[in-house]
Amino acid sequence: MASYGQFCPVAKTAELVCERWTPLVLRELMLGSERFTDIHRGIPLISPALLSKRLRQLVAAGVVESGRHDGHGCYRLTPAGWELYPLVELMGAWGQRWARSRYEADELDPSVLMWDIRRMLRPHGLAGRRTVIEFRLPDAPARKRRYWLIVDQAVDLCLVDPGLEVELVVIAPLRTLTQIWMGDRTMTDAMGEGTVELLGPARLVRRFPGWLGQHPTLGRIAPAQAVAPATPSTDGVAG
């Protein structure tokens, strides 16, 4: 890794954490991804070779440890890695407040969105038994227009039809569903405007907007113009 040539702890941390893709690799590990394929699903634009390199760097730095679980290779954060959690969390909060996405076409990826939704949703509160929800995204790329969430004791995401009875169908533009998830709109408003359509039993249609909700942390953060500025003390920052 390139060095800033300084003893400053900020520089030493930046040498590791600010490598391209590294904060996103840490984000995936912090959100529970352990297998290489799951980490890659959260950041699909990184090449497998570069992801392998970043993981090796994090292992060498003592931030991540590699091992095996259920016969598969896995990666987990060490105590040093978990100590970076507030930093990554604050990066997300700052970005949502001050560098909020405008949801341009090159920022929208249905697979990334559905993967994020899957791992943040809680299974309880929609129905008392297994429920299959089909998402249809008409404006997404041809091979990324349909996804299935299987909600049972956990929430599983399928990229191909699982062959199970679908009880609820969600039809929504990709941009709109992304905005809903990130807290820029509500499902209820989008349904009222006719932008989002739910097809299924009335009991599921009623519960779904509140169950899906929005990203549990980032979706609640208001954009910068809606909050008062704050000027914290800078004592010791460059220490």
Q: Which domains does the chain have, with CATH numbers?
A: 9-98 (1.10.10.10), 105-218 (3.30.1050.10)
pLDDT at 2: 77
pLDDT at 173: 98
Can you tell me the mean pLDDT for 192-218? Answer: 96
Per-residue pLDDT band at 222 (split at 50, 70, 90): very high
Percent of the chain with pLDDT over 90: 85
> Can you list the alpha helix ranges (DSSP code H) found in the chain?
9-17, 22-30, 36-42, 48-60, 79-82, 85-98, 110-120, 174-181, 187-193, 202-212
- With CA atoms as reference, report the closest residue to 207 among 150, 114, 155, 131: 131
pLDDT at 125: 85
Per-residue pLDDT band at 38 (split at 50, 70, 90): very high
Query: Is pLDDT of 192 > 70?
Result: yes
Query: Is pLDDT of 135 > 80?
Result: yes
| Pairwise CA distance, residues 81 & 134, whole Å | 36
Per-residue pLDDT band at 225 (split at 50, 70, 90): confident
pLDDT at 71: 82
Query: Is pLDDT of 83 > 70?
Result: yes
Q: Decide: residue 5, CB within 10 A, 0-12 exposed, 13-18 middle, 19+ buried.
A: exposed
pTM: 0.89
Q: Phi, psi at residue 188, to the nearest 5°?
A: -60, -45
Can you tell me the mean pLDDT for 201-221? Answer: 95
| Pairwise CA distance, residues 231 & 44, whole Å | 37
Per-residue pLDDT band at 239 (split at 50, 70, 90): low
| Pairwise CA distance, residues 143 & 225, whole Å | 38
| Pairwise CA distance, residues 227 & 195, whole Å | 29
